[in-house]
Structure 1
């Protein structure tokens, strides 16, 4: 088995933008796991406020997560094509797409964020979609932070180790939320967690974390037996008291609908796993008209807001992995203790 995390329990709470804030991260860190703060959708002021709140809420180590994608240039023809695909849905809510501005902001890690980290010096900093450029990564490392990043293939794991990652998360195809892929975006090439994990461990020398489809102590023990240093759990914590998961999302997680998840690019332009809902059924989960990540979000956000005002989740990103069996509506610390009793 590879070297463990510097935490009481070998559990990382997956960073989940849109369904959590500092409170879930603090609860997990205080209970002996590694809590994670999603920062990709926070501006500099929001990041500073969140880190201040988190550092005041826990004396233990925590992780701060960023995206490191390349921001695409907006191509008017791509947006026009996307709006045309969504035209019947806009009509249903009397939305004029020419008036749409903004949407969910997902910015790659930058110098402003690095400046904030230099003040707080978190023990761990993680990245999705590869790593930032060398100069930015060196700034993170000078903070004393351990660098974590996600790999969805052995090739990505090798690249991450060669380019400065200290710990690699082997993200299986079962995982909820956005795929961390950055070298090969063909989802049909990707593997489930327990196929991917031993291959990544064999390919790199740094510690490897297992993520995707793990929801109980048996799954945790299986990953540790295969050589993982820890597991990363996200879906399992979505119903916890400290999560900010919306009532509509909570209802979907507790319904039979949660048995059917799929990878979709409708909500951001990037492949992400969620519960199949109305817009995914109407347009197909993966639609070629969707512009590249994260440009699809502006139009869908307008539809989401209109639908949610009518108590409908048909346009909401209901992120969920393939195994929601561990979800419980209890405090996060209690759930963590239950998960770790038999490991």
Structure 2
């Protein structure tokens, strides 16, 4: 624990998971002010928006983390995209008045780039984390040049070893329970991925860098269990989505606070890559895992008009309601109060 604290420069070995689309600098700053490490997700931010968010975080004068995806953008497959849109159109256009076959395309989430690295260098964030592996060596070195601590997610022991060998200072062991996108990058086979209770001790034994546990923790009991299995710290995401400082949508908050939160599933229908969320109508009818979905992140644009129309009707059946399996344990607490409650699990 002491090694992790010295790396993160925080009072607590707790990290708020970066959650693109549902939070910004407001939540990250509140968590950092409470003594943990707040995280800013950058995958959906333009350079201008990222700069503005970093300026707000810098003003908080507390350590923080900036998170990026580092996937390789796929080559567009027009036939696959058209087939997916046609299937969606036949199923939902008449009901919602949409035209999904002709919905505008878009890149969706963007990976870490040289432009982002140059922008970050101006702010020199103390921690930078990645999802889906690590960026190219030159980009990673650019981050390390100002002394940033580098973290990344592993869903298998092989990925944890790879991350340590390629320059990660901290490995985040992401159990299968975790909400949002799976961090796998060496193999797409979901059967290789383990629940946190099985994954965490194996990763701890396999690497020498600090290991942070992620997935299935929403209160002090989960934190205590992860620390007992050898974690140097924990990363919590879903529990923070009900905080007033989060930007979680109305339909998403309602789902998290309802009995529906007890049933989550991995799905690729929203983005093209497996991610865990509360089971809803579009997941049931189109997946949850659909071989026809365009490659990540190209699937995002096809559903966008349907999601917008449904949310305008206060309907979350076409929205990505990202959540981990411990979602029913979440409570609508201010971020500082939740952070203190989680920290109680650090005491033996």
TM normalised by structure 1 equals 0.97
Alpha-carbon distance, 1:342 to partner: 4.5
Counterparts of 2:101 and 2:331, CA distance in 1: 42
SS of the residue corresponding to residue 155 of structure 1 reads: helix
* Per-residue deviation, residues 236-285 of structure 1 (Å, max 9, x unmatched): 11100100101111110111100000000000000000000011111221
Shift of 1:15: 0.1
Give the conservation status (yes or no) of the 8 Å contact 1:2–1:227.
no
Q: How big is each residue's C-alpha offset from its partner over 1:302-338, in whole Å with a ceiling of 9 and x where there is no partner?
A: 1100111111111000000000144222210011112
SS across alignment from 1:299: helix
Count the aligned residue pairs.
342
Specify the alignment match of 2:288 in structure 1.
285
1:156 has 2:175 as partner: no
Following TM superposition, by how much is the alpha carbon of 1:84 offset from its aligned partner in structure 2, in angstroms? 2.3
Structure-1 residue corresponding to 2:16: 13
* Aligned residues of 1:263 and 1:285 also touching (Cα < 8 A): yes
- Which whole-Å CA distance do the structure 2 matches of 1:327 and 1:257 have between them? 13
Q: 1:98 to 1:215 in 2, by over 3 A?
A: closer
CA distance in 1, matches of 2:99, 2:206: 51
Does structure 1 conserve the Cα–Cα contact (< 8 Å) formed by 2:257 and 2:328?
Answer: no
Higher helix share: 2
Residues 104 and 50 of structure 1, relative CA distance in 2, 3 Å threshold: farther
Q: Do 2:41 and 2:68's aligned partners in 1 also have CA atoms closer than 8 Å?
A: yes
Tell me the equivalent position of 2:83.
81
* CA distance in 1: counterparts of 2:84 and 2:102, whole angstroms: 15
Partners of 2:291 and 2:130 in 1: CA distance: 27
Given the alignment of the two structures, is residue 35 of structure 1 paired with residue 38 of structure 2, yes or no? yes
Residue 4 (1) aligns with residue 10 (2): no
SS at match of 2:304: helix
Aligned equivalents of 1:108, 1:297: Cα separation in 2: 15
Q: Which runs of structure 1 show a deviation greater than 6 angstroms over 4 or more consecutive aligned residues?
A: none
TM-score, scaled relative to structure 2? 0.96
Q: Deviations over 1:108-131 (max 9, x none)?
A: 100110011100000100000000
Distance 1:311 1:158, change over 3 A: same
Matches within 5 A, 1:169-248: 169-248=172-251
Counterpart position of 1:165: 168
Distance 1:250 1:47, change over 3 A: same
Checking the alignment, whether the CA contact within 8 Å between 1:62 and 1:122 is kept in structure 2 is: yes
Contact 2:154 2:174 in 1 (8 A): yes
Secondary structure at the aligned position of 1:174 is classed as coil
Structure 2 Cα separation of the partners of residues 118 and 202 of structure 1 = 34
Q: Is the 8 A contact 2:13 2:234 kept in 1?
A: yes
Q: Check conservation: 1:82, 1:291, Cα contact below 8 A.
A: yes
- Hey, what does 1:312 align to over in structure 2? 315
- Structure 1 residue aligned with 2:61: 59
User: What CA RMSD, in Å, does the superposition of the two structures yield over aligned residues?
Assistant: 1.2
Conserved? CA contact 1:236–1:325, under 8 Å: no
CA contact (8 A) 1:2 1:208 kept: no
